[in-house]
């Protein structure tokens, strides 16, 4: 669920813009997968000849996944190269931590901003030095953002990124802002028609590409929850029936001293409810910790760094849903044994037990 949310929030980066990539690239929301590049100057020149293009911003987006590298479930970090004058249009409302931070001064300087998650993990602050591909880069700012991808990014001027990753005059994304009166779809169609080696994706198209995957994740999640719900219900009923069976003598004695049959029903149901409340609390706590541990394992981020953001990994609403579900399962699983206990012929039980 967390991975699906992270994938969905990537599209916020280029919201309202057409994303232009090489026709051979595979795009997951805002991330092009593969090494297909666009010739920067030539592609920009072609784009500016198309009616409806108000602004075109070249971006170099690098992930550690590639040929000859170890493929990870989740990349450790990203590197994003953006022209200095266009940083605000891409980063949106993201701010810099503290008062001393700033964005790099120009496109050729050896300065970078670092996402808050990377900075916290490696103890980087303003003034620290980072070495990437033998380039020594100075950290001028720590980016405060709730977007997971930006929090794990090295953000640097485009020209610097091209030199660091040996991609001179090449980019893999160009975001295009439609002029007033032009829709994203019309502009994307015009770009694909005029520049044949590119693919232009609107917000809707980027969502459509990944939506089937997210829908499958949701379907699998629903299926697993249903199976676990049914198994838990059966387990609770079995344990409660065994507990009631072992205490037939006690219930028969209560009946003999004048306790109403409804009393037995309430006792069994109350026990099941208490088990649900205690189990729900322990289950939510243990499950949340397990979710943090798995997130730490698959992202190589220290577990301690996830603890402050536990309510982002496991939302409070989901915790409440799971707690209510556990209590509900225990109450429902206790109904049948409670009814059975209330209907037991107590005289026969007394004769058999005594």
The CA R_g of the chain, rounded to the nearest whole Å, is 29
C-alpha distances in Å from residue 195, one per residue of 23, 37, 43, 108, 154: 10, 14, 8, 29, 31
Q: What is the 3-state secondary structure (H, E, C) of the chain?
A: CHHHHHHHHHHHCCCCCEEEEECCCEEECCEEECCCCEEHHHHHHHHCCCCCEEEEEEEEEECCCCCCCCCCCCCCCEEEEECHHHHHHHHCCCEECCCCCCCCCCCCCCEEEEEHHHHHHHCCCCCCEEEECCEEEEEEEEEECCCHHHHCEEEEEHHHHHHHCCCCCEECEEEEEECCCCCHHHHHHHHHHHCCCEEEECHHHHHHHHHHHHHHHHHHHHHHHHHHHHHHHHHHHHHHHHHHHHCHHHHHHHHHCCCCHHHHHHHHHHHHHHHHHHHHHHHHHHHHHHHHHHHHHHHCCCHHHHHHHHHHHCCHHHHHHHHHHHHHHHHHHHHHHHHHHHCCCHHHHHHHHC
Q: How far is the C-alpha of 97 from the C-alpha of 354, rounded, in Å? A: 76
The more confident residue out of 300 and 101 is 101
pLDDT at 300 over 80: no
Q: What is the pLDDT of residue 347?
A: 59
Residue 295, by phi and psi: left (phi above 0), alpha (psi -120 to 50) or beta? Answer: alpha
Domain boundaries, the chain: 2-201, 210-353
Question: Which of 6-15, 100-109, 320-329 has the weakest average pLDDT?
Answer: 6-15
pLDDT grade for 66, boundaries at 50, 70 and 90:
very low
Q: What is the pLDDT of residue 11?
A: 67
Q: What is the pLDDT of residue 2?
A: 67
Q: What is the pLDDT of residue 22?
A: 92
Highest mean pLDDT among 77-86, 154-163, 247-256, 332-341: 154-163
Residues 6+ apart with CB under 8 A from 23: 36, 196, 197, 198, 199
Q: What is the pLDDT of residue 24?
A: 84
Highest mean pLDDT among 14-18, 276-280, 344-348: 276-280
Q: What is the pLDDT of residue 89?
A: 72
Each residue's pLDDT tens digit, 187-246: 999 999 999 999 999 988 887 767 777 778 778 888 888 898 889 888 888 888 888 777
CB 265 within 8 A of CB 244: no
Averaged pLDDT of the chain: 83
Each residue's pLDDT tens digit, 7-46: 667 767 788 889 999 988 878 777 787 778 999 999 999 9
Question: Which of 115-124, 265-274, 311-320, 334-343 has the weakest average pLDDT?
Answer: 334-343
Residues 6+ apart with CB under 8 A from 100: 126
The more confident residue out of 85 and 340 is 85
pLDDT grade for 278, boundaries at 50, 70 and 90:
very high
CB 223 within 8 A of CB 48: no
């Amino acid at each position: 669920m967390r991975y699906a949310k992270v994938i969905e929030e990537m599209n916020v980066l280029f919201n309202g813009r057409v994303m232009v990539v090489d026709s051979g690239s595979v795009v997951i929301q805002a991330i092009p997968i593969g090494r297909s590049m666009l010739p920067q100057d030539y592609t920009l020149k072609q784009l500016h000849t198309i009616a409806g293009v108000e602004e075109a911003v070249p971006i170099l987006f690098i992930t550690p996944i590639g040929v000859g590298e170890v493929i990870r479930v989740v990349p450790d970090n990203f590197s994003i190269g953006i022209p200095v004058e266009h940083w605000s249009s891409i980063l949106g409302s993201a701010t810099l931590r503290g008062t001393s931070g700033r964005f790099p001064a120009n496109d050729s300087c050896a300065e970078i901003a670092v996402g808050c998650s990377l900075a916290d993990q490696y103890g980087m602050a303003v003034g620290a030095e980072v070495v990437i591909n033998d380039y020594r880069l100075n950290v001028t700012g720590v980016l405060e953002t709730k977007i997971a991808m930006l929090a794990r990014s090295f953000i640097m001027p485009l020209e610097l990124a091209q030199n660091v990753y040996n991609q001179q005059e090449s980019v893999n994304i160009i975001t295009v802002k439609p002029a007033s009166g032009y829709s994203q779809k019309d502009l994307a169609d015009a770009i694909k028609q005029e520049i044949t080696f590119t693919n232009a994706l609107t917000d809707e198209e980027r969502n459509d590409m990944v939506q089937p995957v997210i829908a499958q994740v949701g379907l699998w999640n629903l299926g697993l929850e249903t199976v676990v719900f049914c198994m838990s219900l059966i387990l609770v009923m079995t344990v409660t029936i065994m507990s009631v069976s072992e205490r037939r003598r006690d219930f028969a004695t209560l009946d003999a001293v004048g306790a109403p049959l409804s009393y037995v029903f309430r006792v069994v149901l109350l026990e099941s409810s208490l088990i649900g409340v205690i189990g729900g609390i322990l289950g939510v706590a243990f499950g949340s910790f397990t979710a943090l541990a798995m997130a730490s394992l698959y992202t190589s981020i220290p577990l301690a760094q996830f603890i402050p953001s536990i309510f982002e990994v496991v939302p409070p609403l989901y915790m409440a849903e799971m707690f209510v579900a556990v209590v509900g399962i225990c109450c429902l699983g206790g109904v049948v044994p409670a009814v059975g206990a209330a209907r037991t012929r107590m005289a026969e039980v007394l004769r058999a037990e005594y």
